[in-house]
Amino acid sequence: MKFKKISIWKADWLYGLLVVLFFWFSANSDLMQSLERKAYDLGLRSTIKTPSDKVAVIAIDDRSITNLGRWPWPRSLQADMLDLLAASHAKVIGNAVLFFEPQIDPGMEYLTKISAMLDTPTLKSGPAALQAELDQIREVTGDGISALDNDKKLSTSIVNAGNVMLPMYFDLGDPLGKQDAPLPDYVLKNNLKNINIAGGSSHFLPVSGADVQFPIPALGGGAIGIGHVNTLIDVDGAVRTDPLLISYYDQFYPSMPLLLAAKSLNLDIKDIVIDPGKDIRLGNLKVITDDAGRMHTFFYKDRDGLPAFQVDSFYDVLSGKIPAEKYRDKIVLIGATAAGIGTSLVTPVSANMPSVLSLAHSVSSILKQDFMVIPEWSGKAQLGIFAVIALYVILLLPRLGAGLGAVITAGLFAGILGTHFYLMVSKSMWLPMMVSASMLLIGHLVLTTKHFFRTEKGKIRADAESAESNRMLGLAFQGQGQLDMAFDKFRKVEIDDSLMEVLYNLGLDFERKRQFNKAESVFKYMAEYNPEFRDLGQRLAQSKAMSETIILGGGAAKTNDSTIVLGTGGVAKPMLGRYEIDKELGKGAMGVVYLGKDPKIGRIVAIKTMALTQEFEPDELQDVLQRFFREAETAGRLNHPNIVTMYDAGEEHDLAYIAMEFLKGKDLAGYTKPDNLLPIPVVLSIVARVADALAYAHTLNVVHRDIKPANIMFDPATDTVKVTDFGIARITDSSKTKTGMVLGSPSYMSPEQLAGNKIEGTSDLFSLGVSLYQLVCGKLPFYGDSMAQLMFRIANEPPVDILSVRPDVPACVVAIINRALAKSIADRYQNGAEMAEEIRKCAASVQG
C-alpha cells in the first residue's frame, strides 16, 4: 500500500504558526506598540467627556509678547499677575514657568558694584561732609537695587498670595551613585511619605530621576508646593500618560497636576496616600495608576468649535480687559503658548499642544476621575484573546472555505474592535488588542494568498495538460457545426501558428453561416497574435462591414434587407442625447428604431424613438410622453436573461427615446407561417424561457399585456430568447392603473383583458398560450370576421382544436395549450414558473 507523501513545508497550519510566532516575538516592538497607541487614540477621541470648570488657563501668548515685550519678561510682571489673582481669591495658582536661575537686571548689577565700592574702608574714613554725601549716594543706590530686584518682587507676591505652586524638572534615569547634596528644605517638604507598601503592587517600578532642577530659593521658599512637570513620550512621540510621582534617591516627588488637585481640595502632602503600582488617593478621590505610578490622562476634545479649556491672554488679564474676578475659586495655570517659547506636545487630540494645556487636562482628569484604566485582568485577557486568534489561524482557518473563512475573520475582527471601543467609551478601560487583531488580518491574508497561488499554479498545470484535449474537442465541435463551442475550446489553447490555421477555417465557417459578427470576433482574436497572417486584415474589415448590416427584427413594420447608413464619408454621425446614430434598424411599435453607440463606454445599443409632435395632437402629448417614460421606468426594473435590458431614456427636441440592449436576431412572427414553423422541441424551449421571464416580471408586479410572437426575439445562432416591448406594461399595484383601458393585440388577449378588467400575470400566460398554439400549427386559436366576433369567441368559445390543424401535435403540448387558454383564471397556470416546468417536462418526453 502506498501513501501520499505530504511536505510539511506546504501545510497551511505551518504558515499560520509562523504568523503567530512573528506576532508573539514582535508584540513589544515599536511598530506593534505604535499601532496599539493609534487604536487607543481613536478610542479616546470617540469618548465624549466634559472637562472640569474649575480649571482656567492664562497664556503667555503671542498677543502678550507683542504688547509686553520680548520674552523673558521682568519677573515683576508675573508678580503683578499673582497679586491680581490673589486679590480675586483664586483657589490655587500653578505657575508653569521655570525659575531655575535668578533674574539679574543689568542696571542692578552695576548698582551693586557701585554699592560695594561705596563700602570700601577708604571711602568710609573720609571727612564728615564727604560721608554725608556718600550716605545719600548709598541710599539712592540701595533704592535702585530694590527697584530692580525682580526676584524679590516676585518672591514677595508668592508669599503674599500663599497659594502659588512652582515647577521642578527631573533628568530621568537611574542614579549612578550617591546624591551630590541634600535638596533644600522647601523642596524636601514635597516628598511623599504616606506610602502603603503593604497594600501596593509587588511590581511597582516608579519612574526614576537621576538629577533635578528646582526653583531658586528666593522663589521656591515661598511656594506652597513644588511639583514636577516631566512628561513621558511614547514610542510614536506622543504623550498619553502622566507620571504622578518620580523616585529620586528613595524619595517620591509628586507631579504638579497631582499637587494642584490636592491643594484645590485643601489637602496637604501628608493627605496624599499611595498604594504603589495600584492607585493614589486624594481624600475620597482614587486615581488608578500602573506599575510605574503613571496615570493614563484623558485628553478632552474641542467641541462645537470651542476649545476644551478656555485660554485667556496674559496681557488681557493684566490690563484688565478680562476681569481677574473670573478666577475666583479656580485652579489657575499660567504658562507659555507662544511660538518659540515653552514646550509643545503631541497628544491624542492635538499634534501641537502647549505643555500648560497638557497640565490642564491632567488636573481635570484627576478631579473628574476621567482617566483611562488598564484593568488588573488585562494581561490575562490579552493572552486569552491572542491564544484564541492563534488557534483560529493555525487550526481552524486552514480548514475553512474562502467565503466562510472571510465571514468568520471579519466577525472576529469586528468583535475585537467593538470590544476595544466599548471598553474605552463606556468603561474608560483600555485593553490592548491590536496585536491580536493584526495577527488575525495578516494570518488571513497570508493563508488566502497561499491558497490563491496554489490554485493558480494548479490551474496553469491543468490548462497545460488539457490544451490538446481542448484542441481536439474544438475540432470535433467544428466538424459538427457547433462553431460557438468550438471557438470557446480553441481560446483555451495557447495560440500558435498551427492554431492560427484552425481559427482561420473557423472564421470562414462563420462566414458561410452568415454569422459575420462571430467571424469578426475570431479574426480579431487572431489579429492580436499576428495581424499579418494571410489576408486576415481584409477578412476582418469585410466581416466587420457585413456584421453592421444585421437587422434587429421588430414586431411592427418590416424593413428591407439593407439598412440606411446615416453617416457616410467624412460626414459626422448624428447624435441623439449622448448616443451616436449609425443606421436605421426598422419601425417599432412607437416609432423608428436606430442602431447607436454610447461613445463613453463603447456600448452598442438599439435606440427606440417617438416623434411626439408628428404623431399626436398637442393636448395628447403630455399623456403620451408620460406613457413613453413609464415604459422605460417599468422595463428598467427588469433584469432577466430572457428580457431585453433597458439602459437609458431621454428627451431631445421633439423626440423621446429609450436606449436598450441591441439584439442580433429576429422576432418569432416569421415562424408563425405554416411553411416556416420551428421544430416543436425548439418552440417548447423558447416558450419555456418566455414563461421564466414572465414569472420573474410578475414577481415585480409587472404585467406585459401584449405577449405575442412579434414581441419575442429569437437568435437561432446563439439560441438566445428575449421578450421585448414592455411599452404597454402597467404596474399592477399602482394607483394610476386604468382598468378600463384595452391595450395590446386583440388576437392574443385574455377574456378579462378584453372585458377591460384589471388584470394579473395569468393574462400574460393566456397570451403566451395563444402564441404557443400559433407557433406549433401556424394558425390562431381564435379568429373572426370582425373585432366584435373575435372578442366574443375569445370570451365565450373554446379554441379551435389544434389537432384538427396539425394532427401530430404531442398530447402533452395539447394539454399545456388547453390549460393556458382556459377561460377561468383559476383553471389556468397560476404563474410562469409552473407553466415553464410543465413545458420542460413535455419537451423531455417529446425529445425522448
Average pLDDT of every residue of the chain? 84
C-alpha cell at 252: 517620591
CB neighbours (10 Å) of residue 610?
Answer: 24
Distance (Å, rounded) from C-alpha 763 to C-alpha 705? 7
Q: How confident is the model at residue 736 (pLDDT cuts 50, 70, 90)?
A: very low
Pairing relationship of beta strands 225-228 and 207-213 according to DSSP bridges? unpaired
**What was the pLDDT predicted at 673?**
93
Is 735:744 a contact under the CB 8 Å cutoff? no
User: Is the pLDDT higher at 751 or at 137?
Assistant: 751
Relative orientation angle of helices 30-45 and 402-427, to the nearest 10 degrees: 60
Given a cut of 80, whether residue 677 has pLDDT beyond it is yes
Given a cut of 50, whether residue 825 has pLDDT beyond it is yes
C-alpha cell at 786: 370582425
Distance (Å, rounded) from C-alpha 275 to C-alpha 195? 6
CA-closest candidate to residue 801, choices 823, 824, 782, 820: 782
SS3 (DSSP) at 831? coil
Given a cut of 90, whether residue 347 has pLDDT beyond it is yes
User: Is the pLDDT higher at 635 or at 136?
Assistant: 635
Q: How confident is the model at residue 567 (pLDDT cuts 50, 70, 90)?
A: very low
Q: What is the mean pLDDT of residues 772-787?
A: 92
Given a cut of 60, whether residue 730 has pLDDT beyond it is no
Residue 755, by phi and psi: left (phi above 0), alpha (psi -120 to 50) or beta? alpha
Q: Residue 759: exposed, middle, or buried by beta-carbon count in 10 A (0-12, 13-18, 19+)?
A: buried
Is 297:319 a contact under the CB 8 Å cutoff? no
Using the 8-state DSSP alphabet, how is residue 233 labeled? B
Per-residue burial over 801-840, b if 16 or more Cβ lie within 10 Å, else e, is ebeeeeeebbebbbebbbbbbbeebeebbebbbebbbbbb
pLDDT in tens, 181-216: 899 999 999 999 888 876 666 678 899 999 999 999
587 has which bridge partners? Answer: 592
C-alpha cell at 840: 420542460
- Whose cell is 422595463? That residue is 635
CA-closest candidate to residue 82, choices 368, 334, 374: 334
**What was the pLDDT predicted at 551?**
35
Q: How confident is the model at residue 634 (pLDDT cuts 50, 70, 90)?
A: confident
Q: How confident is the model at residue 130 (pLDDT cuts 50, 70, 90)?
A: low
Q: How confident is the model at residue 2 (pLDDT cuts 50, 70, 90)?
A: very low
pLDDT in tens, 268-283: 999 999 998 889 999 9
Distance (Å, rounded) from C-alpha 76 to C-alpha 79? 5
The residues carrying an active-site annotation are 706
Q: Which is it for the CA torsion 363, 369, 374, 377, positive or negative? A: positive
pLDDT in tens, 13-47: 888 889 999 999 988 888 888 899 999 999 999 99
Distance (Å, rounded) from C-alpha 660 to C-alpha 121? 117
**What was the pLDDT predicted at 572?**
38
Pairing relationship of beta strands 331-336 and 92-95 according to DSSP bridges? parallel
Given a cut of 80, whether residue 355 has pLDDT beyond it is yes
Alpha-helical runs (H) found in 92-149: 106-118, 121-124, 128-148
What percentage of the chain exceeds 90 in pLDDT? 49
Given a cut of 90, whether residue 342 has pLDDT beyond it is no
From 168-177, 281-290, 387-396, 446-455, the region with the lowest mean pLDDT: 446-455
**What was the pLDDT predicted at 514?**
54
**What was the pLDDT predicted at 654?**
63
State the pTM of this model.
0.54
C-alpha cell at 4: 501520499
Distance (Å, rounded) from C-alpha 771 to C-alpha 227? 97
- Whose cell is 366584435? That residue is 788
Whether omega before 74 lies within 30 degrees of 0, making that bond cis, reads: no
pLDDT in tens, 362-381: 999 999 999 999 998 998 99
**What was the pLDDT predicted at 456?**
64
Using only the alpha carbons of the chain, give its radius of gyration: 46
C-alpha cell at 692: 421564466
Distance (Å, rounded) from C-alpha 112 to C-alpha 228? 34
581 has which bridge partners? Answer: 596
Say which residues have a Cβ less than 8 Å from residue 3's Cβ, sequence separation at least 6.
none
SS3 (DSSP) at 553? coil
**What was the pLDDT predicted at 472?**
87
**What was the pLDDT predicted at 630?**
74
Distance (Å, rounded) from C-alpha 190 to C-alpha 166? 11
Distance (Å, rounded) from C-alpha 315 to C-alpha 63? 7
CB neighbours (10 Å) of residue 166?
Answer: 26
Residue 591, by phi and psi: left (phi above 0), alpha (psi -120 to 50) or beta? left
pLDDT in tens, 494-538: 888 888 999 998 888 787 655 778 888 999 999 999 999 988 888
What percentage of the chain exceeds 70 in pLDDT? 83
- Whose cell is 484627576? That residue is 366
Q: How confident is the model at residue 458 (pLDDT cuts 50, 70, 90)?
A: low
Say which residues have a Cβ less than 8 Å from residue 92's Cβ, sequence separation at least 6.
163, 164, 165, 224, 260, 263, 264, 331, 332
Relative orientation angle of helices 256-264 and 355-368, to the nearest 10 degrees: 50
Q: What is the mean pLDDT of residues 416-428?
A: 92
Distance (Å, rounded) from C-alpha 409 to C-alpha 413? 6
**What was the pLDDT predicted at 381?**
93
208 has which bridge partners? Answer: 247
CA-closest candidate to residue 687, choices 803, 770, 748: 770
Given a cut of 60, whether residue 59 has pLDDT beyond it is yes
- Whose cell is 481635570? That residue is 364
